[in-house]
Amino acid sequence: MIITKTPFRMSFFGGGTDIPAYFMEHNGAVLSTTFDKYCYVIVRHLPRFFNYSTELSYSKIERVTEVGEIDHPAIRNAMKMLDMHEIRLTYEADLPARSGLGTSSSFAVGMLNAFYALKGKYVDKKRLADEAIYLERVLCNEAGGWQDQIAASFGGLNRINFNSDGYEVLPIIINPERKQQLENNLLMFFTGFTRFSAEIQATNNMTAKDKIRQLKEMHSLVDEAEKILVNKNSDLDDFGRLLDHTWKLKRQTGSKISTNTIDELYARGIEAGALGGKLLGAGGGGFLLFYVQPEYKDSVKEAMKHLLHVPFKFENGGTRVIHYTPESYTPRE
């Protein structure tokens, strides 16, 4: 039996510039972190006592005799890609799917990590990220960028650069006390809305000149945000003000990025004292993040009291195998 534990991520700056249609021509970058909310993938070979050969448990239960019969596209394609057969897979998560925290990509990374472990193979973080990108973007043909798979694999507070040659992951070199202050000043709330990221991404046409201009500005904000974090003499509160700026830019890049309800919630948070914030993920719903100075945290929580407040801490580990019991397996003839 194998159990993997893979973190979810929150993207602060540069989202949208990690889409190949954009960064292959213009380059891109994101600044993001993983945090202590995880998905767990449990995999073992299924004993041959049943009239089905594979059992999957996620938001529904599937029992099939052939891999091609599996409804879940990521599981079906991953099993074909890695030649997996006769398994029982269970998915558990600390947070709901389709909520803007890279949940589907964290699952893809954790699943691939578990499949390789079941085969007795160690795979490094870059290969897991690369194969998760291939699985979701090519095999499953889902619209979107690359940052989620990379963040889930590597973990930590990073700048991720994108260009025509691929990507590089650069950890943010930040004073521990300053990093703790950043963590303390962030509040996250669940709006209760969920959506498919690929559907939001599909509405964002990267060829429009105005969107290219906006994305270039969003890219430049990654540089500004990184400078704020690494320079201990800069005002950390400027990070919050920059979040407000990037959210206003993000709202203009697609018709489904925000809703009237999201706009009203965001305005309420700002009025209560937040310096800035954003809707996490591709847009349309999920989690609202605010940067709030300590003296205003209670008033922002009060303004958001009808939403679920989700406390969190940053994490640095990325995906990992937390339980490994080797199994002997002989394929059917």
Same domain, 94 and 184: no
Nearest residue to 6 (alpha-carbon basis) of 32, 34, 38, 41: 38
pTM of the model: 0.92
3-state DSSP assignment of residue 279: strand
Same domain, 157 and 254: no
Same domain, 30 and 163: yes
The answer to whether residue 331 is domain-embedded is no
Q: What pLDDT, in 10s, does the model give residues 178-214?
A: 999 999 999 999 988 655 444 444 445 445 788 888 8
Return mean pLDDT, the chain. 91
Question: Residue 196: its pLDDT value, please?
Answer: 46
Instruction: State how many domains the chain has.
Output: 2
Question: Residue 197: its pLDDT value, please?
Answer: 45
The answer to whether residue 330 is domain-embedded is no
**Exposure string (b/e) for 98-115, b if CB count within 10 Å is 16 or more?**
bbbbbbbbbbbbbbbbbb
Same domain, 212 and 110: no
Question: Residue 260: its pLDDT value, please?
Answer: 83
Same domain, 151 and 202: no
Question: Residue 25: its pLDDT value, please?
Answer: 94
CATH of the domain at 54: 3.30.230.10
Question: Residue 205: its pLDDT value, please?
Answer: 47
Same domain, 155 and 180: no
The answer to whether residue 298 is domain-embedded is yes
CA distance 124 to 119: 15
Question: Residue 284: its pLDDT value, please?
Answer: 61
Provide the token pair at 207. 């060829």
Same domain, 197 and 160: no
Same domain, 108 and 132: yes
Question: Residue 255: its pLDDT value, please?
Answer: 56
Same domain, 157 and 60: yes
Same domain, 153 and 64: yes
Same domain, 9 and 73: yes
Residue numbers in the chain where pLDDT is lower than 50: 196-203, 205-206
Q: What pLDDT, in 10s, does the model give residues 277-289?
A: 999 865 566 899 9
CATH of the domain at 286: 3.30.70.890
Domain interval for residue 229? 176-313
Same domain, 69 and 129: yes
